[in-house]
Structure 1
Amino acid sequence: MDSMSNGWGNRRGKSRFAPQSQINVTPFVDVMLVLLIVFMVTAPLMAVTVPVELAKSAATPKVDAAPLTVTVQSDGAIFIGDTPVSKEAVVAMIRELSNGETDQRIYLRGAKDVSYQQVMEIMGLIDAAGFSRIGLVGASG
């Protein structure tokens, strides 16, 4: 029996299972087309398309108030917005401006020359008064 007829080789004597020097992109294209179809079918299902008529309400939507800004200058002067205040009056002024709402956002700014201790004292006073949404502001760049 001839060795060429048993399927183990070809005319040149190479095995048909030898590595090829060509890239076969057909399986890659097939997978990409299947994924494309899957995404095309599932994408519309991800959007909420159930029509519903929402109930009416007489309540007015709550709009977040502008945040209060507390500034400690390099000479130790304290300002809330543009108004100078004493260290003892900081909490009273914040309560007055926030209408007693303790969820008011407060930004605390300190000049680069101010000691960390001074800024932390003001922050401690504000936090002890029940205002927990305090953010420290720094320069970028």
Structure 2
Amino acid sequence: MAIFCTHCGTKFTNDVWPRHCQGCGEFTYRNPLPVALAVVPVQGGGLLTVRRDIEPQRGHLCLPGGFMEFGESWQESVVRELREETTIVFGAEQVRLHAVQSSQWHILVFGLLPEIEAAPTELTEETSGYEVIFAPTELAFPNHTAVAAAYFAAV
């Protein structure tokens, strides 16, 4: 990743981040990517999860979400990803900040949405099913597991 300067194309001489270009003097950074996720309560005390139909963690349950796109607010990303993965439609103004976590590779923003009556029934290209969980459950990614556990501890 980033073997050459993104400003002038000079090959970097080391693997240290941020990388300083000997050719033009500019820096190249390796920043974490923003990810937006939906925390969707389901009537009866549940939480909506999706079964992934893409790698990584294909076949495992997770919270609906994905990478933010250029020009989107985090709220717009939450509702877009939710719609793409579940066909559930909300407006960006309905999203409330629930949690923020970070790792070396990602900054995860979890948006809380209004309660829905039941899980969707229509599958999408990115999911192979839906499951409503009613207690802390191990999900595909540790951050999702932690946020779901904190959600259930608070309700």
TM-score, L = length of structure 1: 0.26
Structure number with the bigger relative contact order (C-alpha 8 A, sep ≥ 6) is 2
The higher radius of gyration belongs to 1
